[in-house]
Structure 1
Amino acid sequence: MRWTIKPKPEQHEIDRLAAELKVEPLVAQLLLQRGISTYGEAKAFFRPQLSELHDPFLMKDMDAAVGRIEKAIDNEENILVFGDYDVDGTTSVALLSSYLSTYYPNVATYIPDRYTEGYGISYQGIDFAEDNGFSLIIALDCGVKAIDKIAYAKEKGIDFIICDHHRPGETLPEAVAVLDPKRDDCSYPYKELCGCGVGFKLVQALGSRRGQTTNDLMSYLDLVATAIGADIVPITGENRILAYYGLRVMNTDPRTGFKAIIDQIKKDELTITDVVFIIAPRINAAGRMEHGRHAVNLLMETDYEQAVAFAKSIEQFNTDRRTLDQEITEEALIQIRENGEENRFTSVVYKDHWHKGVIGIVASRLTETYYRPTLVFTKSGEKLAASARSVSGFDVYNALMDCSDCIEQFGGHKYAAGLTLLEEQFEAFKSQFEKVVSETIDPTLLIPEIKVDAVIDFKDLRPRLMRIIKQFAPFGPGNMTPVFMAENLMDTGYAKGVGEDEKHLKVSVKQNGIGPIGGIGFNLGDKLGVVSNKKRFSAVFCLDENEWQGQISLQLKLKDVRS
């Protein structure tokens, strides 16, 4: 692991902000590192306000989108709400359709099948709309590149409104409205909304025409917070406000479907981390293992008993998904070893029987193991389909663009993408992808990096610091949990491996006579020799709280240790 200490702001700036906010210099340093340099910015950070959300009509085409929906309602047209099968897509569909259904009955939902239709807008979905008398489709979390499909719908007299957050191509589809803050000609102030966030802006705009304020729409924010966490968008600006209030809804008055899941997992208070690792995988499992509509049904259900039944089904999908992803990951690791590919710049693996619904998770697992850009392929109809994952700092989307002559279709983000190609193109693509990455990646990016906010002494670790750091939440990209480094540490003699196969490291450490403070390092059991027998060592860690027999104490959540 690379330990990279972030640049420390100028001391006079730290002292100025600390005095202005009446906080310790360390807190002022953490805020400055997050771009917060004034009292007003700190107030907005610690006390997010719904009133600070931007006017939705600042988004390009919002007037046209709202006008077309209002026209459809006036003319009693049938509206089809269409979204992708992942968390962002299913929460978006649940949000917009449940909102419209509060005052207009002719609304239905459509989630494409991952296996027969694939990602995004499908011809099959458009045919479904035509066969069932839908004259307006609102697409969420997809569609900004679906030029041919929107043209196909137009020929059939079906209008489209697109709510997307992916990078557009050079040409936009001929839809009635294309809501996407990443459009070059869109001056919307915040560019990092997820698909559900764009959907919420549409709801906000529709609500404003009906005399509703953002406070009236609070109940939809648990969906938005779930999508923000699952889609790994920056938790800054508008996303921070939406996630902050969405978590509040999730913990105080969640929708019935979420309540059924929360009751099932018996969790008292959810953080954004819980949303990412507990709620989101269950929502995702429906589309991976069966069909995304099961997730939408759960998220829109208002009867608790029925929601519990849906949640049980989804829990089984998630259990099946975990079993499959473990099996495929092991097969993929064996394939890499048997092919002698441990020392390449990339991992590209393929077996025709691998389950398409879990190859993205497997790609993430392989990236954790070998830490390099990774693609996992499987057979999908007559073609091969893959999920791509990258490492911090390397744009896998751009790398795929440089391999586009071997690819049939691709799309995605800097760190995650999907693609299809013909089976006969596989070996050529594999060679070209390795060549592109090897020639463009900075080799240091192939070593996992821990970014350290500050080097601190144990004398700085007071309960007040922990109380303030907890207020930095919700954490995520753009506002990660603060990471600290401390040197000249010594275990008091209690260091040991714990858990199954003793794969975790438990310590009790002092620094210069201050302590002891307990610490736990998950998957650091192999570092026991670094800290045992009272050897001096350094550690990087986050601050955590440990509750034992009603007593709460400070704990170090170790990320790495070294001699």
Structure 2
Amino acid sequence: MIESKKRWRMEQSDDQIVQHLQQALKLPPVSAKLLASRGFIDVDKTKAFLNMNETSMHDPYMLHDMDKAVTRIKQAIANEELILVYGDYDADGVTSTSVMMTALQLLDAQVTYVIPNRFVDGYGPSERLFKEAYEDGVNLIITVDNGISGVNEIQLAKELGMDVIVTDHHEAGEILPPADMIIHPRHPLGNYPFGELAGVGIAFKVAHALLGEVPKELFELVAIGTVADLVSLHDENRYFVQQGIKQMRESKRPAIQALCQVAGTEQNLIDEETIGFLFGPRINALGRLADAGPGVELFLSTDSVEAMSLAKLLDTHNKERQGIVSKMTEEAIAMVEAGETGLDPHVIIVAKEDWNPGVVGIVASRLVEKYYRPTIVLGLDSKKGVAKGSGRSIAGFNLYNELAKNRDILPQFGGHPMAAGMTLSIEHVEELRNRLQNQAEETLSEEDLQPVQKVDISININEIDLKSIESLKQLGPFGMGFPKPMYCIERVNITSMRKIGANQNHVKMELADGPHTLDAVGFSQGNLADELTPGIEVSFIGDIQINEWNGRKKPQFMIEDAKTDEWQLYDIRGIRQVNRWNQIIQPEQTLYLAFNQKTIQHFESLLNVSITLVSGNQPSPEPKPYIVLLDIPHDEEILETILTHIQPKRIYAHFYAPDSTYFEVMPSRDHFKWYYGFLVKRPSFDLQQHVNKLAKHKGWTTSTLFFMTEVFFDLGFVKMNNGRIDMQETAVKRDLAESMIYQSREQQMQLEQKLLYAPYMELRQWFDKRLAEQTVPEEEQQWI
């Protein structure tokens, strides 16, 4: 048995709806199944979703204050007023700044931009930078991807005499800033039909309204910011990303070409994963470690040499960021494992001096992945007495709302239900930990704390071909709100399996369902090669992709998780190096069983675990899900009783047998007859002295002679005295089978044949039959 790492929640789809979509839209079965599982029922709406066009975009003037903002901006342009675009240091903020700058430059505005430094100014509007803007002669500030939480700072800007237009998409607080205009898709006085725009999406809507037409050349920037900021890919966000990816694949923009080169990817293959895993982290790395301004310069650049230089700078910072994240994550995990966040925390809060506040969000995400708990990671600055950090959450715990309940100790915070940033006094860190722990205990159930993996559809191997996979790609882009599909392949066999990779930490398999086969790869899943055994049916979840090698294309399943309810037999017979097999066993869940005292003496120093001796006068131990059979029992029945009592989920069969008799010849009745006649003619025979000569004469082994002698002694035919055999003249005639020694030898050879030397599948079948029996009554469990 192997339990899945997460609870799989399988979505259900109506077969009739699947068939209807498949026929009406000419879709392969897998694509129709996926759409149906995600709630697509109506053919016309599904068709519109699959074939979005410019009508998918909403009128930008539907956004609250858009008309006023456009009027004020055009007035500033006409009067040659200095405009400041005030951005943010993440990928959304950088692209938002770039979009707004491009639109204003196209209108010949007197415009500049600034992006706050995370370490100096923190997130959002900065009094310092607003004062500098005033001194530089700025008349109008336009915030992009921030500003909704900058109540005091914007009040200062107004007092200095500057006008402020806020464009933002983050959660608004109870008090809105005193800006002249606030353009927000969820403005309390607005009625915009789609509230999930990214900051760059709102900047794009402003650009659209200002220019009087759709600035199509900016779709690629909107796509980058939208994907990188993890907003929902529904409605016009989906259209933005579709068009942006299409544009990027043929883009002449130096920034796109340079990013492809430093990321090592083909421009014509750009997709949402390229943005999310290659472009986004490099853009974000600037603001995490230093000044994010070069990101804006990269996107505004028209010179390929300059763009390449800037892209290399982004790449260098990203590599540095990766090293910092790795070190901080190791330190954070060590703190959690040491119990510094509590013994059984519902919320994890870790804090340490000098942790880089630019990467705490990434570290928080890593901890959520590992522990599945809402997590906040804080960098402490003891000189200033301040803790700055970032949090990531899980389903069922709205991090923004829960933080909002603690405004009295959180002077600065903002974000979303699943992610937030904050600044607080160091002296309030423990108080925040205690409060959030109590809030989480009230909010989250035990089930909420178990990670769930949504599985879209179950598919058969024979449904997976190149055409189906290509069709699935057409359903993209995938992301937040419309995630990359997760597929399940149920109860298939593994026909081959091996570890791959330099560190042997990945696995490659061939899966089979009847005559149909499919290649499968699991990255960082090398443990499956140790845990999965032949002859069982396994279910997998993961993604399906096309693997291209030497010009050949084949479907390939990318394993995310696996499980099987079947018991498993691990064949570790003949592996003398104990460490080779013991390292894959979980000792706390395992009973190590031996049937001979000598076996315990042999293994106790090698295994460093408790070994249970199976004998006839001790009570049964508490069953555990796994057992290791270190040696072979004397009696088949005692092993059968063990199996029915424990009903193990895993059996590790080692069967150490230093005195194996299987390959020794069992003397025939003719052997015994000749030997008995030989002894009758010599009433007293010194076997110890003549055993070698006699063995050579008959072509037998000396052990065969000693064994037959022991049988005769057991039957009362002879007496033995210091190696001398004396015949018993009054011995009663008895059958060889009456000898316990003879029976034991015969039984031992049969057991060795069944257990020690049988092929794997025969051994499994032997165990299968015994495990199918009912558990024996407790009063009969006296085998130990």
Give 1:457's match in structure 2, choosing from 460, 478, 481: 460
Give 1:46's match in structure 2, choosing from 41, 47, 50: 50
Mapped contact 2:92–2:198 kept (Cα < 8 A):
yes
> What displacement does 1:511 show?
1.0
> What displacement does 1:313 show?
1.5
**What is residue 498 of structure 1 aligned with on the other side?**
500
The alignment status of 1:124 with 2:128, answered yes or no, reads yes
Task: Assess, with a 3 A threshold, how the Cα gap between structure 1 residues 503 and 404 changes in structure 2: closer, same or farther.
Answer: farther
**What is residue 287 of structure 2 aligned with on the other side?**
287
Residues 60-75 of structure 1 aligned to structure 2 (within 5 Å):
60-75=64-79
The alignment status of 1:238 with 2:240, answered yes or no, reads no
Task: State the AA in 2 paired with 1:458.
Answer: I
State the secondary structure of the residue aligned to 2:448: helix
Task: State the AA in 1 paired with 2:15.
Answer: Q
Note the alpha carbon deviations across 1:294-339, whole angstroms, 9 max, x for none.
2111121111111111112221111111111111111111112223
> What displacement does 1:503 show?
2.0
**What is residue 107 of structure 2 aligned with on the other side?**
103
376-385 vs 362-371, greater mean Cα deviation: 376-385
* Distance (whole Å) between structure 1 residues aligned to residue 277 and residue 31 of structure 2: 28
Mapped contact 1:97–1:107 kept (Cα < 8 A):
yes
- Give the TM-score, by structure 2 length: 0.69
Mapped contact 2:458–2:487 kept (Cα < 8 A):
yes
Mapped contact 1:219–1:255 kept (Cα < 8 A):
no
> What displacement does 1:342 show?
6.0
**What is residue 543 of structure 1 aligned with on the other side?**
544
Task: Assess, with a 3 A threshold, how the Cα gap between structure 1 residues 151 and 404 changes in structure 2: closer, same or farther.
Answer: closer
**What is residue 265 of structure 2 aligned with on the other side?**
267
Residues 82-481 of structure 1 aligned to structure 2 (within 5 Å):
82-208=86-212, 213-214=213-214, 217-268=215-266, 269-339=269-339, 341=342, 343-380=344-381, 381-481=384-484
The alignment status of 1:10 with 2:11, answered yes or no, reads no
* Distance (whole Å) between structure 1 residues aligned to residue 409 and residue 179 of structure 2: 30
> What displacement does 1:27 show?
2.7
Cα RMSD after superposing both structures: 1.7
Mapped contact 1:226–1:275 kept (Cα < 8 A):
yes
> What displacement does 1:244 show?
0.4
Unaligned runs of 5+ in 2: 565-784
Mapped contact 2:28–2:471 kept (Cα < 8 A):
no
> What displacement does 1:237 show?
0.8
Task: Assess, with a 3 A threshold, how the Cα gap between structure 1 residues 155 and 397 changes in structure 2: closer, same or farther.
Answer: same
427-436 vs 334-343, greater mean Cα deviation: 334-343
* Distance (whole Å) between structure 1 residues aligned to residue 475 and residue 113 of structure 2: 37
> What displacement does 1:146 show?
1.6
* Distance (whole Å) between structure 1 residues aligned to residue 437 and residue 539 of structure 2: 36
Mapped contact 2:95–2:222 kept (Cα < 8 A):
yes
Task: Assess, with a 3 A threshold, how the Cα gap between structure 1 residues 230 and 254 changes in structure 2: closer, same or farther.
Answer: farther
**What is residue 512 of structure 2 aligned with on the other side?**
510
Mapped contact 1:34–1:478 kept (Cα < 8 A):
no
State the secondary structure of the residue aligned to 1:348: strand
Mapped contact 1:286–1:292 kept (Cα < 8 A):
yes
**What is residue 76 of structure 1 aligned with on the other side?**
80
Task: State the AA in 2 paired with 1:132.
Answer: D
Note the alpha carbon deviations across 1:416-465, whole angstroms, 9 max, x for none.
10111111111111111122112211322322221111122222223332
Note the alpha carbon deviations across 1:259-317, whole angstroms, 9 max, x for none.
21212223112111111111011111111111011211112111111111111222111
Mapped contact 2:144–2:200 kept (Cα < 8 A):
yes
> What displacement does 1:228 show?
1.0
Task: State the AA in 2 paired with 1:145.
Answer: S
Mapped contact 1:402–1:436 kept (Cα < 8 A):
no
524-533 vs 297-306, greater mean Cα deviation: 524-533
Larger-gyration structure (1/2):
2
State the secondary structure of the residue aligned to 1:357: coil
Task: Assess, with a 3 A threshold, how the Cα gap between structure 1 residues 336 and 260 changes in structure 2: closer, same or farther.
Answer: same
* Distance (whole Å) between structure 1 residues aligned to residue 163 and residue 120 of structure 2: 24
Task: Assess, with a 3 A threshold, how the Cα gap between structure 1 residues 394 and 524 changes in structure 2: closer, same or farther.
Answer: farther
Task: Assess, with a 3 A threshold, how the Cα gap between structure 1 residues 270 and 532 changes in structure 2: closer, same or farther.
Answer: farther
Task: State the AA in 1 paired with 2:73.
Answer: I
Mapped contact 2:397–2:440 kept (Cα < 8 A):
no
* Distance (whole Å) between structure 1 residues aligned to residue 60 and residue 39 of structure 2: 25
Note the alpha carbon deviations across 1:384-426, whole angstroms, 9 max, x for none.
1111011234312222123333322211101110111111111
Note the alpha carbon deviations across 1:164-194, whole angstroms, 9 max, x for none.
1112122322222111011122111111100
* Distance (whole Å) between structure 1 residues aligned to residue 387 and residue 480 of structure 2: 32
> What displacement does 1:241 show?
0.2
* Distance (whole Å) between structure 2 residues aligned to residue 170 and residue 237 of structure 1: 27
* Distance (whole Å) between structure 1 residues aligned to residue 135 and residue 472 of structure 2: 55
> What displacement does 1:51 show?
3.1
* Distance (whole Å) between structure 1 residues aligned to residue 396 and residue 208 of structure 2: 34
Mapped contact 1:530–1:562 kept (Cα < 8 A):
no
State the secondary structure of the residue aligned to 2:119: coil
* Distance (whole Å) between structure 2 residues aligned to residue 6 and residue 339 of structure 1: 35
Aligned residues: 555
* Distance (whole Å) between structure 2 residues aligned to residue 82 and residue 199 of structure 1: 12
244-253 vs 451-460, greater mean Cα deviation: 451-460
* Distance (whole Å) between structure 2 residues aligned to residue 550 and residue 26 of structure 1: 25
Residues 20-59 of structure 1 aligned to structure 2 (within 5 Å):
20-59=24-63
* Distance (whole Å) between structure 2 residues aligned to residue 313 and residue 58 of structure 1: 40
Task: State the AA in 2 paired with 1:365.
Answer: R
* Greater length-normalized contact order (CA 8 Å, ≥ 6 residues apart): 1
State the secondary structure of the residue aligned to 1:556: strand
Task: State the AA in 2 paired with 1:325.
Answer: V
* Distance (whole Å) between structure 1 residues aligned to residue 195 and residue 115 of structure 2: 26
Unaligned runs of 5+ in 1: none
Mapped contact 1:530–1:561 kept (Cα < 8 A):
no
Residues 523-542 of structure 1 aligned to structure 2 (within 5 Å):
523-542=524-543
Task: State the AA in 2 paired with 1:46.
Answer: L
